[in-house]
Chains A and B, each alone.
Chain A
């Protein structure tokens, strides 16, 4: 049994990370025994997720949240979406885990142990928004290929790690460096060991930002296995696929990284706008960098009924990729009029911002509350679907909830 060998070979620390809880009496557990929680095929127990999370795909695992599950200011593990391109690695040997920095543009290749990384470099903690490039894909018409995410492939957790920049300075980078690309321990769906499920990256300018970190803690604890234990890249504000999980190697490239899902149509949109359904040649597709401005009403849950005369208190979060959110507005008349929400400053750059408002309704009836965020460049969310693209990325259309006044 694969799971058995995984458990036998991995440390108890890994088990704890996977389960998300401490195993009481773990010293009494027979060697090679698979805890009942890991024998379970129930993804909610397996990944410690809220039972209201929605499973889009069970091989590979892809699970999303619903808006009301994302109400916390800092997202807890139980509400964090799971997005996998391949199979979650089964043999995590944290004691012997290493990170190698290589590529055309390093002065010399260098390998660090996990404990060396933790002891040698300064630790930083940031709240960083990660959103799947395909979040909202399900709304595109004609439909786009891939997991049909609705709104729940986004979150903002607190990450602790070391700056990628500090590590790269220690290694020594040549002037011709263009891009970094990660390589990880996950397994291709075909189990072909020569194939990587995903190996993406970002330009050096993103690699060198303060907030681009190699994280080993999420929300103050070991990163859960499904989210990249024991080490991952976090590049907030960019498609979450840039934040490689189960990190083993980073290549500093003198070209745009050409790993799996960097080329072709993956995580790319047409360089020029196209009509819905139009064919786009690979060379006319451009890599997605910063994610667009977006917001989510996380309270109340859609479907609230309240009595006439009562005010409705709404709240939620807004984010804008590399930028800050400048304002959030709401409308209860399908965009005919907009009112301002109270908007908080981000905890740090690239963290989502919290908004709230108290809404009065003029009479009984059916309403939709729409939220619209505007970024620091004055660009707002569209109420309709943004430009169609073959892979269904970057749907940042306004979120709305249904409300009835009775």
Chain B
């Protein structure tokens, strides 16, 4: 009798133990699925047609001074010695576009810088002045166009009237 009761109790405990394990497993798996759904509600990892490149996000700061095909993407300046000094000193007040449009020799850049210092609050450029002027006259030299240039870049089209 005593042994019978003891065996029954033992079986009951074993049953309870199995049920507890099962419940824990079910809750555990449910929790894993739930967490996964929170992280990836679209179940994108299960889809094979999602291009990997779309998931890659590059921090913006890494791109800030990116050079592409020899051009500083943010400003459009040609990547060459003196470029960053020019970006730092010449694009605070106005766009780099204003700099690149203007093709001047050393003497005229000097007088333009002096004019900006006298009237536009440009600071003393110190040793950078020579670096900047050298960058500009090397990469954006004056072009000879004569008294009238030929027409270029014509996009031909059929005129229908």
Residues of A within 8 A of B (CB): 55-60, 139, 141-143, 145-148, 188-190, 192, 195, 260, 300-306, 310, 312-313, 368, 383-385, 397, 400, 402, 404
Contact across chains for A56 and B93 when beta carbons are under 8 A apart: no
Interface residue? B156 (CB, 8 A): yes
In the complex with contacts A146-B102, A385-B147, A404-B97 CB distance below 8 A: no
In the assembly, what is the distance between CA of A11 and CA of B150, in Å? 49
Interface residue? B142 (CB, 8 A): yes
Q: Give chain B interface residues in 91-122, CB to chain A under 8 Å.
A: 93-95, 97-98, 101-104, 108, 112, 119-121
Which residue of B101, B144, B146, B156 contacts A305 across the interface (Cβ within 8 Å)? B156
B145 proximity list for chain A (CB < 8 A):
139, 141
B104 proximity list for chain A (CB < 8 A):
143, 145
Provide 16 A-B residue pairs closer than 8 Å at the C-beta atoms, listed in order of the A residue.
A57-B98, A58-B97, A59-B95, A139-B145, A141-B144, A141-B145, A145-B112, A148-B101, A188-B121, A189-B94, A190-B121, A301-B157, A303-B154, A305-B156, A305-B157, A383-B148
Contact across chains for B103 and A143 when beta carbons are under 8 A apart: yes
In the assembly, what is the distance between CA of A348 and CA of B113, in Å? 44
Contact across chains for A368 and B158 when beta carbons are under 8 A apart: no
A368 proximity list for chain B (CB < 8 A):
151
Q: Give chain B interface residues in 30-44, CB to chain A under 8 Å.
A: none
A301 proximity list for chain B (CB < 8 A):
157
A190 proximity list for chain B (CB < 8 A):
93, 120-121
In the assembly, what is the distance between CA of A189 and CA of B94, in Å? 7
Contact across chains for A303 and B155 when beta carbons are under 8 A apart: yes
Contact across chains for A59 and B94 when beta carbons are under 8 A apart: yes
Interface residue? B159 (CB, 8 A): yes
Which residue of B101, B155, B161 contacts A310 across the interface (Cβ within 8 Å)? B161
Interface residue? B143 (CB, 8 A): yes
Interface residue tally of chain B, by bracket?
20 to 34
In the complex with contacts A58-B95, A148-B102, A190-B93, A139-B149 CB distance below 8 A: yes
A139 proximity list for chain B (CB < 8 A):
145, 148-149
In whole Å, how far is A275's beta carbon from the nearest beta carbon of chain B?
A: 13
In the complex with contacts A148-B102, A189-B94, A195-B121, A143-B147 CB distance below 8 A: no
Residues of B within 8 A of A (CB): 93-95, 97-98, 101-104, 108, 112, 119-121, 142-149, 151, 154-159, 161
In the complex with contacts A142-B142, A303-B157, A305-B157, A384-B148 CB distance below 8 A: yes
In the assembly, what is the distance between CA of A38 and CA of B128, in Å? 37
Contact across chains for A56 and B154 when beta carbons are under 8 A apart: no
In whole Å, how far is A384's beta carbon from the nearest beta carbon of chain B?
A: 4
B154 proximity list for chain A (CB < 8 A):
302-303, 402
Contact across chains for B151 and A302 when beta carbons are under 8 A apart: yes
A146 proximity list for chain B (CB < 8 A):
102
A312 proximity list for chain B (CB < 8 A):
159
Contact across chains for B148 and A57 when beta carbons are under 8 A apart: no
Contact across chains for A147 and B101 when beta carbons are under 8 A apart: yes
Contact across chains for B156 and A189 when beta carbons are under 8 A apart: no
In whole Å, how far is B72's beta carbon from the nearest beta carbon of chain A?
A: 15
In the assembly, what is the distance between CA of A55 and CA of B95, in Å? 11
Contact across chains for A145 and B161 when beta carbons are under 8 A apart: no
B156 proximity list for chain A (CB < 8 A):
303, 305, 404
In the assembly, what is the distance between CA of A56 and CA of B97, in Å? 7
A60 proximity list for chain B (CB < 8 A):
94-95
In the assembly, what is the distance between CA of A402 and CA of B121, in Å? 45
Contact across chains for B159 and A300 when beta carbons are under 8 A apart: yes
In the assembly, what is the distance between CA of A301 and CA of B160, in Å? 12
Contact across chains for A141 and B147 when beta carbons are under 8 A apart: yes
- In the complex, the chain A residue whose C-beta lies closest to that of B91 is A59
Contact across chains for A143 and B143 when beta carbons are under 8 A apart: yes
In the complex with contacts A56-B97, A146-B102, A303-B154, A397-B112 CB distance below 8 A: no
B101 proximity list for chain A (CB < 8 A):
56-57, 147-148
